[in-house]
Structure 1
Amino acid sequence: MSSKDDQTLGFYAEEAGAYAGRDRQAEHRRIDIFAAGLAPGARILELGCGGGQDSEEMLRRGFDVVPTDGSPELAQQAAQRLGREVRVLLFENLDEVAAYDGVWAHACLLHAPRPALPGIIDRIHAALRPCGAFYASFKAGEAEGRDSLGRYFNYLSSAELRDAFGAPSRWQSLQIEEEMGSGYDRMATRWLHALAIKAS
């Protein structure tokens, strides 16, 4: 199943400048936790980099970051911020094996259709090196749907998200934390933050 939703991608195409240019700070606290076990200069793939704020921060910390986004328009915006190429990549087209020490997926896999998500996580698992770190965040919920801006979200429960990660033996650890926050629509939102470490 494709992770491509034309209505969601259309939103980001039209709003790319405003979305990328808004006053959004990098996810410093989450990056701290994600990066704690990574070696200096570790190679990190960012999926759904949006405006590039998180890639910018991880580059500042000395990591070898590969920024990507599924929206060509957002990739262009991020490239302007970062001063480097940003690859256009849909989740299901990730096909690298043991290529990264970490995969960062802040607020992007939440757009993947529910049936497609386990397969996408399989691809991320394959792309990670042994003991690699994988961070992803999702808007919590009980049923898939669209927000007031027309974007598709999978709106998972914590249990559903844990199931999407597959067999526990594939991971050294998997932690899922819930907290309140907001997003581009400025609505109060329950967020799920997942951090997994691939088995050695």
Structure 2
Amino acid sequence: MRDKNSGADQETIDFYNYNSDKYDQATYNLKLEIPWMEFTSRIKPNGRILDIGCGSGRDMGHFINLGYYVEGVEPSREMAKLARYRTGAIVHEIAAEQIDFNNQFDGAWACASLLHVSKSSFAKTYNLIMRSLKQSGVFYFSLKLGVGTIRKEDGRLFTNYNHDEIEELVITRSDTKSLFTWESTDALQSRNTKWLNFIVVKN
């Protein structure tokens, strides 16, 4: 079921509303040293970062501690509530598909969040995120390696990709200055999960 107003998947949002504390306990203390470093090393000190699908604020807190100004985007009201409590930062209670910023941020971070965006909405959502970035802005996002769209028993929608699908979208764009990619294992130790990591620098 998709929210007719936002394009976001309501069953996925409901999962995070009903399981916010449990999900927070399972993921808040994860350390993403390599993605964090690859992302922040490309952003000027004290720059502005937009965390898309910020969850309970783990990555927001890390970036704030490094001296960045950070705002979050989180469609789950309960997760957004946790993120505000944890960071004291602005968290926009909207989905990635609803982002409406223009040339405001030096970096956009979407860790394991765009995988909940349907394939039919992905390109449009990508456009909105790129529009939010300033010139030479940096966009990090991670997706699960795989094929097709899956609705899990818990209700969440997952859209899988391969490297070529994303590269085809990114490198053909006139606003792409550079693309850096790598694969990684799952931080939660799921042996069957591989992640695709992308860093796009905007012209």
Same fold (TM over 0.5): yes
Alignment partner, residue 70 of structure 1:
75
Alignment partner, residue 42 of structure 2:
37
Identity of matched residues, %:
28
CA distance in 1, matches of 2:158, 2:105: 27
Q: Please state if 1:84 is matched with 2:92.
A: no
Q: Which segment drifts farther, 155-164 or 41-50?
A: 155-164
Q: What does 1:86-101 align with in structure 2 at a 5 Å threshold?
A: 86-101=91-106
- From 57, 61, 69, give the equivalent of 1:56: 61
Query: Where does the alignment leave 5 or more consecutive residues of structure 2 unmatched?
Result: none
Secondary structure of the 2:177 match is: strand
Contact conserved, 1:146 with 1:152, CA < 8 A, in 2? yes
Provide the TM-score with structure 2 as the length reference. Answer: 0.90
CA distance in 2, matches of 1:166, 1:146: 29
- From 148, 155, 168, give the equivalent of 1:163: 168
Contact conserved, 2:171 with 2:179, CA < 8 A, in 1? no
2:17 partner amino acid: A
CA distance in 1, matches of 2:56, 2:85: 9
Give me the CA root mean square deviation: 1.9
2:20 partner amino acid: A
Query: Where does the alignment leave 5 or more consecutive residues of structure 1 unmatched?
Result: none
Structure 1 residues 65 and 84 mapped into 2: Cα distance closer, same or farther (>3 Å)?
A: closer
CA distance in 1, matches of 2:46, 2:112: 24
Contact conserved, 1:118 with 1:166, CA < 8 A, in 2? no
CA distance in 2, matches of 1:132, 1:3: 26
Secondary structure of the 2:36 match is: helix
